Amino acid sequence: MGKEPGSGNIVAEGCTHKGCKTKPARFGFCPEHYEQFKFGLIKKTGEPVPDYDKKFEQYAAYKARRGVQKAA
Ligand SMILES: [Zn+2]
């Protein structure tokens, strides 16, 4: 809901990831989902990749190693 079908452009309204209402920071993603995008968990369209679950484990481990950073 919310987005017009067929509009390819990303409007800086909310994160591209479905259901995420966080204000986007980069590439239309919020910081959290931008990280996931960089990690290859989600596509540029905001859709999860087919092996999202598997990759998310690696991503979670990466985040845990790095520690939770809440820097603005
Ligand atoms: Zn998001």
In a domain, 15, yes or no: yes
* Residues lying with their CB under 5 A of ligand 1, a single-atom ion: 15, 17, 20, 22, 30, 33
What pLDDT sits at residue 54?
96
Q: Residue 70 domain-assigned?
A: no
Q: What range does the domain containing 40 cover? A: 9-65
pLDDT of amino acid 48? 93
* pLDDT tens per residue across all 72 residues of the chain: 455 555 455 455 789 998 899 999 999 999 999 999 999 999 999 999 999 999 999 999 998 998 765 555
Ligand 1 midpoint to CA 64 (Å): 19
Distance 56 CA to ligand 1 centre (A): 15
Q: Per the domain annotation, does 2 fall within a domain?
A: no
Q: Judge whether 20 lies within some domain.
A: yes
Would you say 47 and 29 are in contact if contact means Cβ atoms under 8 Å apart?
Answer: no
Question: For the chain, how many structural domains are there in total?
Answer: 1
Q: What is the DSSP letter of 56?
A: H
How many CA atoms does the CB half-sphere of 29 hold within 13 Å?
18
